[in-house]
């Protein structure tokens, strides 16, 4: 009995002592690596960008690709090799997009890589794709294998919102692409995304209706009748 008690006592003291030992934190010893950052909702390595719900005055925009490194920050900027995968890309550099030289700034662990995209007339009919890939550079090896590819599809194709017939038609009338484009220009893309995807207060919707209608009246006073893509006169309900 005493032996058993002593044994338990020794084990307990041993456990207590072992938990007090100072641990050595292992630091990253491999080559510095880089990969595309994962968003909170999963990897953001495929993005669809539509100019359609942007104001007509928007002729170019910038898509940001977030990347981060594995390893420690460095005192000097380091080169990132982010390249087009030509075999999988239909977008034309200089016409649909432009790239730049990418670097990880000194002292940073993450940065955003800019892809400038252009609104061209052909995007109203055709969607183009830009396939990018992170490759090894003189400063970085590639990181997590599933986070190296980035796919960007670009279009300017207006489509009828799902809730047009159910909600919007009673306020804005018959759908046409020209009318919808005009609404986007008047209300802005944020409002358009809100009213086409969520349920909003009726008074707020009436405010948007009145705002669009006022702009339409002003437009017709200056330019004459507004015509849709089929040359039919556009009207907004009173």
- 78 is an interface residue for another protein by CB under 8 A: no
In the region spanning residues 197 to 216, those forming contacts with another protein, defined by CB under 8 A, are 201-204, 206-207, 209-211, 213-214
Number of residues that bind another protein (CB under 8 A): 15
Q: Which is nearer to another protein, 153 or 235 (CB)?
A: 235
CB of 163 to another protein, least distance (A): 18
Single out the segment in contact with another protein by CB under 8 A; choices: 15-23, 93-101, 126-134, 196-204.
Answer: 196-204
SS3 content of the chain, % helix, strand, coil (to 5): 35, 25, 40
CB of 112 to another protein, least distance (A): 33
User: In Å, what is the CA distance from 152 to each residue of 10, 78, 129, 177?
Assistant: 63, 25, 6, 24
Measured between alpha carbons, how far is 192 from 56 in angstroms, rounded to an integer? Answer: 13
Neighbour tally for 92: CB within 10 Å: 13
CB of 202 to another protein, least distance (A): 5
In the region spanning residues 219 to 238, those forming contacts with another protein, defined by CB under 8 A, are 237-238
HSE (side-chain half, CA atoms, 13 Å) at 164: 15
CB of 190 to another protein, least distance (A): 14
CB of 208 to another protein, least distance (A): 8
* 3-class secondary structure per residue, 101-120: CEEECCCCCEEEEEEEEECC
Measured between alpha carbons, how far is 57 from 75 in angstroms, rounded to an integer? Answer: 41
- In terms of Cα–Cα distance, which of 118, 113, 114 is closest to 93? 118
- 35 is an interface residue for another protein by CB under 8 A: no
- 188 is an interface residue for another protein by CB under 8 A: no
The residue ranges that bind another protein (CB under 8 A) are 1, 201-204, 206-207, 209-211, 213-214, 217, 237-238
């Amino acid at each position: 009995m005493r032996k058993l008690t002593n044994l338990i006592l020794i084990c307990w003291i041993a456990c207590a002592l072992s938990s007090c030992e100072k641990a050595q934190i292992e630091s990253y010893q491999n080559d510095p690596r880089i990969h595309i950052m994962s968003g909170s909702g999963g990897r953001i390595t495929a993005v669809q960008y539509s100019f359609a719900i942007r104001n007509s005055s928007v002729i170019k925009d910038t898509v940001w690709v977030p990347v981060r490194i594995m390893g420690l920050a460095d005192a000097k900027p380091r080169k990132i090799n982010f390249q087009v995968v030509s075999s999988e890309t239909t977008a034309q550099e200089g016409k649909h997009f432009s790239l730049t030289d990418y670097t990880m700034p000194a002292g940073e662990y993450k940065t955003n890589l800019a892809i400038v995209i252009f609104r061209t007339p052909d995007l109203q009919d055709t969607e183009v794709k830009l396939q990018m890939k992170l490759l090894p550079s003189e400063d970085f090896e590639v990181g997590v294998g599933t986070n190296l590819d980035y796919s960007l599809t670009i279009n300017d194709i207006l489509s009828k919102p799902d809730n047009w017939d159910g909600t919007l038609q009673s306020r804005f009338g018959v759908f046409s692409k020209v009318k919808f484009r005009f609404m986007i220009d008047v209300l802005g893309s944020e409002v358009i995304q809100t009213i086409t995807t969520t349920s909003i207060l009726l008074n707020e919707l009436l405010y948007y209706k009145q705002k669009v209608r006022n702009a339409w009246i002003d437009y017709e006073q200056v330019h004459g009748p507004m015509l849709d893509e089929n040359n039919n006169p556009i009207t907004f309900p009173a």
